[in-house]
Amino acid sequence: MNILGIETSCDETSVAVISDGKVKSNLISSQLFHKDFGGVVPELSSRAHLQIVLPLLKKSLIDAQISKNDIDIVSVTAGPGLIGALLVGLSFAKSFAFSIGKTFIPVNHIEGHIFSGFLMEEKPEYPFLCLVVSGGHTLLLIVESEMKIKLLGTTIDDASGEAFDKVSKLIGLGYPGGPKIQQYAEKGNEDAIKFPVAQLKSIYDFSFSGLKTSVIRFVDKNYTDRIIPEKDLPDIAASFQKAVVSALTRNVTSAINNYEVKTISVVGGVSANSYLRNSIKEIGSKQKIKTVFPSLEYCGDNAAMIANRGDMLYRNGKSFELNYNAFASLDLSIFL
Ligand code: KG4
Ligand code: ZN
């Protein structure tokens, strides 16, 4: 069984082929030009997807050593994401599936991330606790099976990746912020500045906007015109990173104290963060719970995770017509 995956929800165009459960190709083209604008410009993103998606498909088939007629399923991200960017992938996937006469499967992007641990050799075991940390989402979930997901908590304001990106921009490190903050944090003292970690009524929810504001206040109080000398950046980055990771690990700890889970899986762009990975691994080893992280190529947006989820939906008997209104129907809550 050959499954094609297509991902165009934000600033990565990706095409992948999974054959009998093995990733045969996973090409990712990142739109680096957005950094000149300090964030993703939706219209430019759509146009860039349009230019690259067909060449990526051709190369992906060559890498996987199959022809287009060998494809059995065409799966594609249908949301959430930037509407124009999604439309490029979705329209492309629908027409391609129609032209080769094969099954079309729209996939929820977040579900793609949630199950990305299954692309690894060592897979999550059900039920598993899943922490989704990306640019647009921060979710804590109990994944009971392929088709049963229970939402425990979410962010009430900014997503964790968004917090990394906003603070990075504020302190002059640019976009995307996560990798830059991590890089500076490695040279800094995480206890140099006490940034607050929000305490919410629900022990599973998150809030990062207060933290962002306190970094703004710190910068405004200590530096004129927000110009921060290079030597001060590592301590700010490390202290901020520690505060974000403390909020994430605190809720993960609450969840494993209250739910019996066999695995903790952290997924999404921020799961590439090594400080977060180490903190979660520490919790796992203390509590004797297996931890699973996608490898770096599967942390950020990628089509392998979309093909993988498309495969799961297909095996669970989900079928979709080409005129399926993915935008209206596909949201995470259908599985709650
Ligand atoms: O999952 P993703 O690629 O796209 C969305 O679905 O949003 O996540 C992108 C987010 C960005 O906010 C980026 O700054 C963050 O992931 N990120 C990181 C790291 N690498 C990427 N955050 C913290 N540490 C990293 N090493
Ligand atoms: Zn994503």
Contact by Cβ (8 Å): 266, 276: yes
- Closest ligand to Cα 179: 1
Q: Over 90: is that where the pLDDT of 159 sits? A: yes
Q: Over 80: is that where the pLDDT of 14 sits? A: yes
pLDDT at 320: 86
**Closest atom, ligand 1, to C-alpha of 175:** 14
Structural domains of the chain sorted by starting position, each given as residue range(s) with its CATH number in brackets? 2-114+298-329 (3.30.420.40), 123-293 (3.30.420.40)
Q: Give helix 233-258 / helix 209-222 axis angle, nearest 10°.
A: 160
* Cβ neighbourhood burial of 42 (10 Å; 0-12, 13-18, 19+): middle
CA 150 to chain centre: 18
pLDDT at 40: 86
User: How far, in Å, CA of 311 to CA of 107, rounded?
Assistant: 10
User: How far, in Å, CA of 139 to CA of 160, rounded?
Assistant: 10
The residue written with tokens 């900014």 in the block is 158
The finding on whether 64 has its CB within 6 A of some atom of ligand 1 is no
Ligand 2 centre to CA of 83 (Å) is 14
Map residue 190 onto helix, strand or coil: coil
The finding on whether 79 has its CB within 6 A of some atom of ligand 1 is no
**Closest atom, ligand 1, to C-alpha of 176:** 14
The finding on whether 268 has its CB within 6 A of some atom of ligand 1 is yes
Share of the chain above pLDDT 70, in %: 97
Ligand 1 centre to CA of 135 (Å) is 5
Contact by Cβ (8 Å): 25, 60: yes
Q: Over 50: is that where the pLDDT of 335 sits? A: no
Backbone angles phi, psi at 187, to 5 degrees: -100, 5
Q: Over 70: is that where the pLDDT of 59 sits? A: yes
The finding on whether 11 has its CB within 6 A of some atom of ligand 1 is no
**Closest atom, ligand 1, to C-alpha of 81:** 6
The residue written with tokens 């909020």 in the block is 247
Name the residue with higher pLDDT: 95 or 36. 95
pLDDT confidence tier of residue 328, bands split at 50, 70 and 90: low
Contact by Cβ (8 Å): 89, 53: yes
Q: Which residue's CA is the nearest one to ligand 1's atom 23?
A: 178
User: How far, in Å, CA of 129 to CA of 144, rounded?
Assistant: 9
Range in 39-48, 307-316, 323-332 with the lowest mean pLDDT: 323-332
- Closest ligand to Cα 133: 1
Tokens representing 297 are 């190529």
Tokens representing 100 are 């080769």
pLDDT at 319: 82
pLDDT confidence tier of residue 199, bands split at 50, 70 and 90: confident
Question: Could you read off the pLDDT of 73-124 as tens digits, one per residue?
Answer: 999 999 889 999 999 999 999 999 999 999 999 999 999 999 999 999 999 9
Beta bridge partners of 265: 130, 292
pLDDT at 38: 80
- Taking residues 25-38, what's their average pLDDT? 91
pLDDT at 336: 34
Share of the chain above pLDDT 90, in %: 88
Residues in contact with 279: Cβ distance below 8 Å, sequence separation at least 6, in sequence order: 245, 248, 249
**pTM of this prediction?**
0.95
Residue 271 burial (CB count, 10 A): 26
**Closest atom, ligand 1, to C-alpha of 113:** 1
Tokens representing 144 are 């009971």
Report long-range pairs for 199-204 (Cβ below 8 Å, ≥24 apart).
200/156, 202/153, 203/153, 203/251, 203/254, 204/140, 204/152, 204/153, 204/251, 204/254, 204/255
pLDDT at 213: 96
The finding on whether 272 has its CB within 6 A of some atom of ligand 1 is yes
- Closest ligand to Cα 137: 1
- Taking residues 142-156, what's their average pLDDT? 95
